Structure 1
Protein backbone atom coordinates (compact mmCIF):
# COMPACT_ATOMS: atom_id res chain seq x y z
CA UNK A 1 0.00 0.00 0.00
CA UNK A 2 1.37 3.39 -0.99
CA UNK A 3 1.49 6.35 1.39
CA UNK A 4 -1.39 8.01 -0.47
CA UNK A 5 -3.51 4.87 -0.26
CA UNK A 6 -2.73 4.55 3.43
CA UNK A 7 -3.85 8.13 4.07
CA UNK A 8 -7.04 7.58 2.04
CA UNK A 9 -7.82 4.41 3.99
CA UNK A 10 -7.26 6.22 7.26
CA UNK A 11 -9.54 9.08 6.25
CA UNK A 12 -12.30 6.64 5.26
CA UNK A 13 -12.16 5.26 8.79
CA UNK A 14 -12.71 8.64 10.42
CA UNK A 15 -16.35 9.52 11.24
CA UNK A 16 -17.78 12.16 8.94
CA UNK A 17 -18.26 14.67 11.73
CA UNK A 18 -14.66 14.33 12.86
CA UNK A 19 -13.43 14.55 9.26
CA UNK A 20 -15.22 17.87 8.84
CA UNK A 21 -13.17 19.24 11.72
CA UNK A 22 -9.98 18.37 9.84
CA UNK A 23 -11.25 19.55 6.46
CA UNK A 24 -14.16 21.95 7.13
CA UNK A 25 -16.56 22.35 4.19
CA UNK A 26 -16.17 25.46 2.09
CA UNK A 27 -18.34 27.38 -0.36
CA UNK A 28 -18.14 26.07 -3.92
CA UNK A 29 -18.23 29.62 -5.24
CA UNK A 30 -15.74 31.55 -3.11
CA UNK A 31 -14.12 29.16 -0.63
CA UNK A 32 -15.70 30.64 2.49
CA UNK A 33 -16.70 28.29 5.32
CA UNK A 34 -20.12 26.62 4.97
CA UNK A 35 -22.16 24.19 7.03
CA UNK A 36 -22.40 21.50 4.34
CA UNK A 37 -19.99 20.20 1.69
CA UNK A 38 -20.82 21.33 -1.82
CA UNK A 39 -23.04 24.17 -0.63
CA UNK A 40 -22.93 27.85 -1.50
CA UNK A 41 -22.45 30.48 1.18
CA UNK A 42 -25.28 33.02 1.64
CA UNK A 43 -23.31 35.66 -0.25
CA UNK A 44 -22.73 33.49 -3.32
CA UNK A 45 -26.26 32.10 -3.26
CA UNK A 46 -27.71 35.60 -3.21
CA UNK A 47 -25.27 36.48 -6.00
CA UNK A 48 -26.86 33.97 -8.36
CA UNK A 49 -29.35 35.58 -10.72
CA UNK A 50 -31.56 32.51 -10.96
CA UNK A 51 -33.74 32.24 -14.04
CA UNK A 52 -37.36 31.65 -13.14
CA UNK A 53 -40.64 31.65 -14.98
CA UNK A 54 -41.87 33.33 -17.05
CA UNK A 55 -39.31 32.54 -19.73
CA UNK A 56 -39.34 32.21 -23.49
CA UNK A 57 -40.46 28.64 -24.08
CA UNK A 58 -37.88 28.14 -26.86
CA UNK A 59 -34.78 30.09 -25.79
CA UNK A 60 -35.34 30.06 -22.03
CA UNK A 61 -34.62 33.77 -21.63
CA UNK A 62 -36.51 35.45 -18.78
CA UNK A 63 -39.26 37.99 -19.30
CA UNK A 64 -39.20 41.09 -17.11
CA UNK A 65 -42.97 40.93 -16.52
CA UNK A 66 -45.36 38.01 -16.15
CA UNK A 67 -48.12 38.79 -18.63
CA UNK A 68 -50.15 35.79 -17.52
CA UNK A 69 -50.80 34.69 -21.08
CA UNK A 70 -49.61 31.09 -20.84
CA UNK A 71 -46.63 29.81 -22.85
CA UNK A 72 -44.68 32.78 -24.17
CA UNK A 73 -42.25 33.25 -27.04
CA UNK A 74 -39.68 36.02 -27.24
CA UNK A 75 -39.52 38.19 -30.37
CA UNK A 76 -36.36 36.34 -31.43
CA UNK A 77 -38.00 32.94 -31.01
CA UNK A 78 -40.71 34.06 -33.43
CA UNK A 79 -38.31 35.65 -35.93
CA UNK A 80 -35.46 33.12 -35.57
CA UNK A 81 -36.74 29.79 -34.16
CA UNK A 82 -33.83 27.73 -32.82
CA UNK A 83 -32.92 24.31 -34.17
CA UNK A 84 -33.24 22.84 -30.67
CA UNK A 85 -36.70 22.60 -29.16
CA UNK A 86 -36.25 24.24 -25.75
CA UNK A 87 -33.38 25.70 -23.77
CA UNK A 88 -33.27 26.06 -19.99
CA UNK A 89 -30.51 27.43 -17.75
CA UNK A 90 -30.04 27.83 -14.01
CA UNK A 91 -28.70 31.37 -13.82
CA UNK A 92 -27.55 34.35 -15.81
CA UNK A 93 -23.82 34.24 -16.46
CA UNK A 94 -22.57 36.75 -13.94
CA UNK A 95 -21.43 36.96 -10.33
CA UNK A 96 -21.40 33.61 -8.55
CA UNK A 97 -22.48 31.70 -11.69
CA UNK A 98 -19.52 33.04 -13.65
CA UNK A 99 -17.15 32.13 -10.80
CA UNK A 100 -18.48 28.56 -10.64
CA UNK A 101 -18.09 28.06 -14.39
CA UNK A 102 -14.58 29.52 -14.39
CA UNK A 103 -13.45 27.46 -11.40
CA UNK A 104 -14.73 24.28 -13.05
CA UNK A 105 -13.34 25.03 -16.50
CA UNK A 106 -10.08 26.86 -15.84
CA UNK A 107 -9.08 25.97 -12.26
CA UNK A 108 -9.65 22.20 -12.54
CA UNK A 109 -12.29 22.21 -9.80
CA UNK A 110 -13.91 19.06 -11.13
CA UNK A 111 -15.75 18.58 -7.85
CA UNK A 112 -17.96 21.53 -8.78
CA UNK A 113 -19.55 19.52 -11.58
CA UNK A 114 -21.77 17.64 -9.13
CA UNK A 115 -22.83 20.85 -7.39
CA UNK A 116 -23.71 22.54 -10.67
CA UNK A 117 -25.35 19.39 -12.06
CA UNK A 118 -27.73 19.22 -9.09
CA UNK A 119 -28.90 22.77 -9.81
CA UNK A 120 -29.24 22.00 -13.51
CA UNK A 121 -31.28 18.87 -12.75
CA UNK A 122 -33.68 20.91 -10.63
CA UNK A 123 -34.04 23.62 -13.27
CA UNK A 124 -34.38 21.19 -16.16
CA UNK A 125 -36.52 18.54 -14.49
CA UNK A 126 -39.24 18.75 -17.16
CA UNK A 127 -36.73 18.40 -19.99
CA UNK A 128 -35.05 15.49 -18.19
CA UNK A 129 -38.40 13.76 -17.63
CA UNK A 130 -39.08 13.81 -21.38
CA UNK A 131 -35.56 12.84 -22.51
CA UNK A 132 -34.44 9.39 -23.63
CA UNK A 133 -30.71 10.08 -23.31
CA UNK A 134 -28.19 12.82 -22.51
CA UNK A 135 -25.43 13.98 -24.85
CA UNK A 136 -22.78 16.56 -23.87
CA UNK A 137 -21.55 19.22 -26.28
CA UNK A 138 -18.13 17.82 -27.27
CA UNK A 139 -14.77 19.53 -27.46
CA UNK A 140 -12.48 19.10 -30.45
CA UNK A 141 -9.78 16.56 -29.66
CA UNK A 142 -7.05 19.22 -29.74
CA UNK A 143 -8.82 21.34 -27.13
CA UNK A 144 -9.70 18.29 -25.07
CA UNK A 145 -6.01 17.32 -25.05
CA UNK A 146 -5.05 20.78 -23.75
CA UNK A 147 -7.79 20.98 -21.12
CA UNK A 148 -7.74 17.26 -20.24
CA UNK A 149 -11.49 17.12 -19.58
CA UNK A 150 -14.79 18.27 -21.08
CA UNK A 151 -16.81 20.22 -18.55
CA UNK A 152 -20.05 19.53 -20.44
CA UNK A 153 -19.39 15.80 -20.18
CA UNK A 154 -18.78 16.05 -16.43
CA UNK A 155 -22.09 17.88 -15.98
CA UNK A 156 -24.00 15.54 -18.29
CA UNK A 157 -22.65 12.40 -16.66
CA UNK A 158 -23.72 13.59 -13.19
CA UNK A 159 -27.20 14.58 -14.39
CA UNK A 160 -27.69 11.30 -16.28
CA UNK A 161 -26.57 9.22 -13.29
CA UNK A 162 -28.98 10.98 -10.96
CA UNK A 163 -31.87 10.63 -13.45
CA UNK A 164 -30.96 7.04 -14.39
CA UNK A 165 -30.85 7.99 -18.08
CA UNK A 166 -28.46 6.68 -20.74
CA UNK A 167 -25.42 8.91 -21.17
CA UNK A 168 -23.88 9.02 -24.66
CA UNK A 169 -20.69 11.12 -24.58
CA UNK A 170 -19.45 9.78 -27.93
CA UNK A 171 -22.74 10.19 -29.82
CA UNK A 172 -21.71 13.64 -31.02
CA UNK A 173 -18.22 14.53 -32.22
CA UNK A 174 -16.60 17.89 -32.89
CA UNK A 175 -14.97 17.15 -36.21
CA UNK A 176 -13.68 20.62 -37.03
CA UNK A 177 -11.55 22.83 -34.81
CA UNK A 178 -13.10 26.29 -34.55
CA UNK A 179 -11.72 29.61 -33.38
CA UNK A 180 -12.81 30.95 -30.01
CA UNK A 181 -16.34 32.31 -29.99
CA UNK A 182 -15.38 35.15 -27.64
CA UNK A 183 -15.91 38.51 -29.30
CA UNK A 184 -17.75 37.14 -32.34
CA UNK A 185 -21.13 38.46 -33.42
CA UNK A 186 -24.17 36.19 -33.45
CA UNK A 187 -23.85 35.66 -37.20
CA UNK A 188 -20.09 35.06 -36.97
CA UNK A 189 -20.60 32.51 -34.20
CA UNK A 190 -23.06 30.57 -36.34
CA UNK A 191 -20.70 30.65 -39.33
CA UNK A 192 -17.76 29.61 -37.16
CA UNK A 193 -19.63 26.47 -36.03
CA UNK A 194 -21.06 25.48 -39.40
CA UNK A 195 -20.26 21.82 -39.99
CA UNK A 196 -18.33 21.52 -36.73
CA UNK A 197 -20.37 18.61 -35.33
CA UNK A 198 -21.22 15.16 -36.62
CA UNK A 199 -22.81 11.98 -35.29
CA UNK A 200 -20.29 9.15 -35.87
CA UNK A 201 -21.84 6.28 -37.81
CA UNK A 202 -20.83 3.80 -35.10
CA UNK A 203 -22.64 5.86 -32.46
CA UNK A 204 -25.81 6.77 -34.37
CA UNK A 205 -27.80 3.93 -32.79
CA UNK A 206 -27.50 5.65 -29.42
CA UNK A 207 -29.58 8.65 -30.51
CA UNK A 208 -31.61 7.37 -33.47
CA UNK A 209 -35.33 7.69 -32.77
CA UNK A 210 -34.65 9.19 -29.34
CA UNK A 211 -35.39 12.47 -27.61
CA UNK A 212 -31.98 13.90 -26.81
CA UNK A 213 -31.13 16.30 -24.01
CA UNK A 214 -27.99 18.23 -25.00
CA UNK A 215 -25.89 19.48 -22.07
CA UNK A 216 -23.39 22.36 -21.90
CA UNK A 217 -22.03 24.73 -19.28
CA UNK A 218 -22.92 28.11 -20.84
CA UNK A 219 -25.16 29.35 -23.63
CA UNK A 220 -24.29 32.68 -25.25
CA UNK A 221 -26.08 33.21 -28.57
CA UNK A 222 -27.35 29.68 -29.03
CA UNK A 223 -25.04 29.07 -32.01
CA UNK A 224 -23.35 26.06 -30.42
CA UNK A 225 -26.69 24.56 -29.38
CA UNK A 226 -28.08 25.08 -32.87
CA UNK A 227 -25.08 23.51 -34.62
CA UNK A 228 -25.00 20.53 -32.25
CA UNK A 229 -28.78 20.03 -32.43
CA UNK A 230 -28.70 20.15 -36.22
CA UNK A 231 -26.11 17.38 -36.31
CA UNK A 232 -28.07 15.25 -33.83
CA UNK A 233 -31.29 15.63 -35.81
CA UNK A 234 -29.49 14.72 -39.03
CA UNK A 235 -28.10 11.72 -37.18
CA UNK A 236 -31.59 10.44 -36.38
CA UNK A 237 -32.67 12.08 -33.11
CA UNK A 238 -36.39 12.89 -33.06
CA UNK A 239 -35.94 16.02 -30.93
CA UNK A 240 -33.20 17.93 -29.11
CA UNK A 241 -33.55 20.12 -26.03
CA UNK A 242 -30.71 22.07 -24.43
CA UNK A 243 -29.84 22.35 -20.73
CA UNK A 244 -27.02 24.59 -19.52
CA UNK A 245 -25.83 25.98 -16.22
CA UNK A 246 -25.66 29.62 -17.25
CA UNK A 247 -27.04 31.96 -19.88
CA UNK A 248 -25.07 35.00 -21.00
CA UNK A 249 -27.22 38.06 -20.36
CA UNK A 250 -30.06 38.31 -22.79
CA UNK A 251 -27.82 36.82 -25.45
CA UNK A 252 -30.41 34.53 -27.01
CA UNK A 253 -33.59 36.32 -26.06
Structure 2
Protein backbone atom coordinates (compact mmCIF):
# COMPACT_ATOMS: atom_id res chain seq x y z
CA UNK A 1 0.00 0.00 0.00
CA UNK A 2 2.74 2.46 0.98
CA UNK A 3 4.75 1.64 -2.15
CA UNK A 4 1.71 2.24 -4.36
CA UNK A 5 1.08 5.56 -2.62
CA UNK A 6 4.70 6.61 -3.18
CA UNK A 7 4.46 5.69 -6.86
CA UNK A 8 1.29 7.69 -7.27
CA UNK A 9 2.81 10.63 -5.45
CA UNK A 10 5.86 10.58 -7.75
CA UNK A 11 3.57 10.65 -10.78
CA UNK A 12 1.77 13.72 -9.47
CA UNK A 13 4.87 15.40 -8.00
CA UNK A 14 7.94 14.09 -9.86
CA UNK A 15 11.32 14.66 -8.17
CA UNK A 16 13.01 17.92 -9.11
CA UNK A 17 16.62 19.04 -9.09
CA UNK A 18 17.39 20.83 -5.84
CA UNK A 19 19.04 23.70 -7.72
CA UNK A 20 17.28 24.26 -11.05
CA UNK A 21 13.99 22.38 -10.68
CA UNK A 22 14.52 20.08 -13.65
CA UNK A 23 12.88 16.66 -13.29
CA UNK A 24 15.32 14.06 -11.95
CA UNK A 25 15.24 10.36 -11.09
CA UNK A 26 15.46 10.60 -7.30
CA UNK A 27 14.26 13.09 -4.68
CA UNK A 28 16.59 15.68 -3.17
CA UNK A 29 19.17 15.21 -5.91
CA UNK A 30 20.86 17.27 -8.59
CA UNK A 31 20.44 16.99 -12.33
CA UNK A 32 23.48 16.14 -14.44
CA UNK A 33 24.42 19.72 -15.39
CA UNK A 34 23.95 21.04 -11.84
CA UNK A 35 26.00 18.17 -10.42
CA UNK A 36 28.76 18.90 -12.93
CA UNK A 37 28.77 22.59 -12.02
CA UNK A 38 28.73 22.04 -8.24
CA UNK A 39 32.26 22.38 -6.79
CA UNK A 40 32.50 19.22 -4.68
CA UNK A 41 35.79 18.82 -2.83
CA UNK A 42 37.72 15.69 -3.72
CA UNK A 43 41.32 14.59 -3.83
CA UNK A 44 44.01 16.15 -1.65
CA UNK A 45 42.68 18.70 0.84
CA UNK A 46 43.79 20.53 3.96
CA UNK A 47 43.62 18.27 6.99
CA UNK A 48 42.36 21.13 9.17
CA UNK A 49 39.77 22.92 7.04
CA UNK A 50 39.13 20.81 3.94
CA UNK A 51 40.14 23.34 1.29
CA UNK A 52 41.48 21.62 -1.85
CA UNK A 53 45.26 21.46 -2.26
CA UNK A 54 47.40 20.81 -5.35
CA UNK A 55 49.16 17.49 -5.66
CA UNK A 56 48.39 13.89 -4.80
CA UNK A 57 47.48 12.42 -1.45
CA UNK A 58 50.60 10.83 0.03
CA UNK A 59 48.80 9.65 3.15
CA UNK A 60 50.35 12.30 5.41
CA UNK A 61 48.60 15.37 6.87
CA UNK A 62 48.73 18.42 4.58
CA UNK A 63 47.73 21.97 5.46
CA UNK A 64 46.79 25.09 3.51
CA UNK A 65 48.59 28.40 3.99
CA UNK A 66 45.87 29.71 6.33
CA UNK A 67 46.03 26.67 8.59
CA UNK A 68 49.82 26.86 8.69
CA UNK A 69 49.68 30.45 9.93
CA UNK A 70 46.54 30.35 12.13
CA UNK A 71 46.38 28.15 15.21
CA UNK A 72 43.29 25.97 14.81
CA UNK A 73 41.94 24.72 18.15
CA UNK A 74 40.28 21.74 16.48
CA UNK A 75 42.31 18.70 15.39
CA UNK A 76 40.80 17.92 11.98
CA UNK A 77 38.28 19.46 9.63
CA UNK A 78 36.62 18.98 6.27
CA UNK A 79 34.04 20.47 3.93
CA UNK A 80 31.80 19.08 1.21
CA UNK A 81 31.88 21.99 -1.27
CA UNK A 82 33.89 25.02 -2.25
CA UNK A 83 32.00 28.25 -1.51
CA UNK A 84 31.54 29.45 -5.07
CA UNK A 85 29.08 28.96 -7.95
CA UNK A 86 26.53 26.30 -7.01
CA UNK A 87 28.25 25.77 -3.66
CA UNK A 88 27.54 29.40 -2.76
CA UNK A 89 24.03 29.18 -4.21
CA UNK A 90 23.17 26.20 -2.03
CA UNK A 91 24.46 27.85 1.16
CA UNK A 92 22.60 31.11 0.50
CA UNK A 93 19.38 29.33 -0.47
CA UNK A 94 19.43 27.41 2.80
CA UNK A 95 20.52 30.34 4.94
CA UNK A 96 18.38 33.13 3.50
CA UNK A 97 15.88 31.43 1.20
CA UNK A 98 14.22 29.06 3.68
CA UNK A 99 15.17 26.14 1.44
CA UNK A 100 15.11 23.46 4.11
CA UNK A 101 14.93 20.79 1.40
CA UNK A 102 18.64 21.44 0.81
CA UNK A 103 19.47 19.97 4.23
CA UNK A 104 18.88 16.38 3.14
CA UNK A 105 21.39 16.21 0.25
CA UNK A 106 23.80 18.58 2.00
CA UNK A 107 23.90 16.39 5.09
CA UNK A 108 24.67 13.34 2.96
CA UNK A 109 27.61 15.12 1.31
CA UNK A 110 28.87 16.41 4.66
CA UNK A 111 28.53 13.02 6.35
CA UNK A 112 30.51 11.36 3.55
CA UNK A 113 33.26 13.95 3.95
CA UNK A 114 33.28 13.70 7.76
CA UNK A 115 33.17 9.92 8.08
CA UNK A 116 36.97 9.56 8.49
CA UNK A 117 36.82 12.09 11.36
CA UNK A 118 34.23 10.23 13.41
CA UNK A 119 34.56 8.10 16.53
CA UNK A 120 31.79 6.12 18.22
CA UNK A 121 31.57 8.34 21.32
CA UNK A 122 31.43 11.61 19.39
CA UNK A 123 28.61 14.10 19.86
CA UNK A 124 27.51 16.44 17.08
CA UNK A 125 26.80 20.10 17.79
CA UNK A 126 25.98 23.14 15.63
CA UNK A 127 27.60 26.54 15.80
CA UNK A 128 25.01 28.56 17.76
CA UNK A 129 23.15 31.75 16.90
CA UNK A 130 22.38 34.59 19.30
CA UNK A 131 18.71 34.51 20.26
CA UNK A 132 17.95 37.82 18.55
CA UNK A 133 19.29 36.52 15.25
CA UNK A 134 17.43 33.27 15.79
CA UNK A 135 14.15 35.17 16.15
CA UNK A 136 14.79 37.17 12.98
CA UNK A 137 15.87 34.16 10.89
CA UNK A 138 13.44 31.70 12.60
CA UNK A 139 15.91 28.81 12.42
CA UNK A 140 19.58 27.99 12.77
CA UNK A 141 20.72 26.46 9.49
CA UNK A 142 23.73 24.92 11.24
CA UNK A 143 21.42 23.13 13.68
CA UNK A 144 19.37 21.71 10.80
CA UNK A 145 22.55 20.43 9.18
CA UNK A 146 23.92 19.08 12.48
CA UNK A 147 20.79 17.04 13.18
CA UNK A 148 20.78 15.54 9.69
CA UNK A 149 24.53 14.84 9.72
CA UNK A 150 24.24 13.12 13.12
CA UNK A 151 21.51 10.88 11.76
CA UNK A 152 23.58 9.97 8.71
CA UNK A 153 26.56 9.11 10.91
CA UNK A 154 24.47 7.41 13.61
CA UNK A 155 25.79 9.77 16.29
CA UNK A 156 24.12 11.61 19.14
CA UNK A 157 23.69 15.35 18.85
CA UNK A 158 22.73 18.33 20.98
CA UNK A 159 21.22 21.45 19.37
CA UNK A 160 22.17 23.76 22.25
CA UNK A 161 25.45 22.30 23.42
CA UNK A 162 26.90 25.79 22.86
CA UNK A 163 25.34 29.23 23.27
CA UNK A 164 26.09 32.81 22.23
CA UNK A 165 25.19 34.91 25.30
CA UNK A 166 26.20 38.18 23.65
CA UNK A 167 25.26 39.52 20.24
CA UNK A 168 28.18 40.39 17.96
CA UNK A 169 28.25 42.68 14.97
CA UNK A 170 27.96 41.04 11.52
CA UNK A 171 31.24 39.65 10.22
CA UNK A 172 30.59 40.55 6.59
CA UNK A 173 33.24 42.94 5.32
CA UNK A 174 35.61 42.35 8.24
CA UNK A 175 39.17 41.17 7.72
CA UNK A 176 40.58 38.00 9.22
CA UNK A 177 42.03 39.59 12.37
CA UNK A 178 38.88 41.62 13.00
CA UNK A 179 36.75 38.49 12.71
CA UNK A 180 38.81 36.65 15.30
CA UNK A 181 38.81 39.65 17.64
CA UNK A 182 35.04 40.05 17.32
CA UNK A 183 34.32 36.39 18.12
CA UNK A 184 36.87 35.92 20.90
CA UNK A 185 35.05 34.49 23.92
CA UNK A 186 31.62 35.10 22.38
CA UNK A 187 30.57 31.42 22.40
CA UNK A 188 30.18 29.43 25.61
CA UNK A 189 29.27 25.89 26.64
CA UNK A 190 25.67 25.63 27.81
CA UNK A 191 25.71 25.37 31.60
CA UNK A 192 23.18 22.55 31.62
CA UNK A 193 24.70 20.61 28.71
CA UNK A 194 28.33 20.27 29.83
CA UNK A 195 27.82 16.63 30.81
CA UNK A 196 27.09 15.76 27.19
CA UNK A 197 30.56 16.80 26.01
CA UNK A 198 32.57 15.97 29.13
CA UNK A 199 35.40 13.56 28.23
CA UNK A 200 34.03 13.17 24.69
CA UNK A 201 34.98 14.40 21.24
CA UNK A 202 32.74 16.91 19.50
CA UNK A 203 31.96 17.26 15.81
CA UNK A 204 31.13 20.92 15.16
CA UNK A 205 28.85 21.67 12.21
CA UNK A 206 28.48 24.95 10.33
CA UNK A 207 27.24 25.97 6.91
CA UNK A 208 30.35 27.74 5.66
CA UNK A 209 33.89 28.42 6.86
CA UNK A 210 35.57 31.65 5.78
CA UNK A 211 38.33 32.68 8.19
CA UNK A 212 37.48 30.03 10.78
CA UNK A 213 36.91 32.61 13.52
CA UNK A 214 33.43 31.35 14.44
CA UNK A 215 34.49 27.71 14.48
CA UNK A 216 37.56 28.65 16.52
CA UNK A 217 35.41 30.34 19.18
CA UNK A 218 33.05 27.36 19.21
CA UNK A 219 35.89 24.82 19.49
CA UNK A 220 37.44 26.70 22.40
CA UNK A 221 34.04 26.71 24.12
CA UNK A 222 33.87 22.92 23.70
CA UNK A 223 37.21 22.49 25.44
CA UNK A 224 36.06 24.76 28.27
CA UNK A 225 33.06 22.45 28.55
CA UNK A 226 35.29 19.40 29.02
CA UNK A 227 35.58 18.00 25.49
CA UNK A 228 38.68 15.90 24.80
CA UNK A 229 38.84 16.69 21.07
CA UNK A 230 37.02 18.83 18.52
CA UNK A 231 36.66 18.23 14.80
CA UNK A 232 34.71 20.31 12.29
CA UNK A 233 32.68 19.80 9.14
CA UNK A 234 31.09 22.49 7.00
CA UNK A 235 28.88 22.39 3.96
CA UNK A 236 31.22 24.80 2.15
CA UNK A 237 34.71 26.24 2.51
CA UNK A 238 35.63 29.63 1.11
CA UNK A 239 38.82 29.40 -0.92
CA UNK A 240 41.07 32.26 -2.01
CA UNK A 241 41.23 31.09 -5.59
CA UNK A 242 37.52 30.25 -5.78
Task: Map 1:85-234; keep pairs closer than 5 Å.
Answer: 85-129=75-119, 132-234=122-224
SS of 1:242's partner is: strand
Spell out, residue by residue over 1:125-172, the C-alpha distance to the aligned partner (whole angstroms, 9 max, x if none): 111346610010011000000111110000110111222211111110
In structure 2, relative to structure 1, the CA distance for the partners of 1:74 and 1:131 (3 Å cut) is farther
Q: Take 1:73 and 1:131, find their aligned partners in 2: how far apart are those partners? A: 26
Higher Cα Rg, which structure: 1
Q: Which residue of 2 aligns with 1:38?
A: 28
In structure 2, relative to structure 1, the CA distance for the partners of 1:97 and 1:13 (3 Å cut) is same
SS of 1:202's partner is: coil
Q: Take 2:116 and 2:58, find their aligned partners in 1: how far apart are those partners? A: 20
Q: Take 2:204 and 2:89, find their aligned partners in 1: how far apart are those partners? A: 23
Given candidates 7, 10, 13, the residue that maps to 1:17 is: 7
Q: Which residue of 2 aligns with 1:60?
A: 50
TM-score of the superposition, structure 1-length normalised?
0.89
TM-score of the superposition, structure 2-length normalised?
0.93
Question: Please, which runs of 5 or more residues in structure 1 have no aligned partner?
Answer: 1-11
The farther-off stretch of 98-107 and 186-195 is: 98-107
Q: Take 1:225 and 1:132, find their aligned partners in 2: how far apart are those partners? A: 17
Question: Please, which runs of 5 or more residues in structure 2 have no aligned partner?
Answer: none
Cα contact 1:59–1:82 (8 A) shared by 2:
no
Cα contact 2:142–2:205 (8 A) shared by 1:
yes
Runs of 4+ in 1 over 3 A off after TM superposition: none
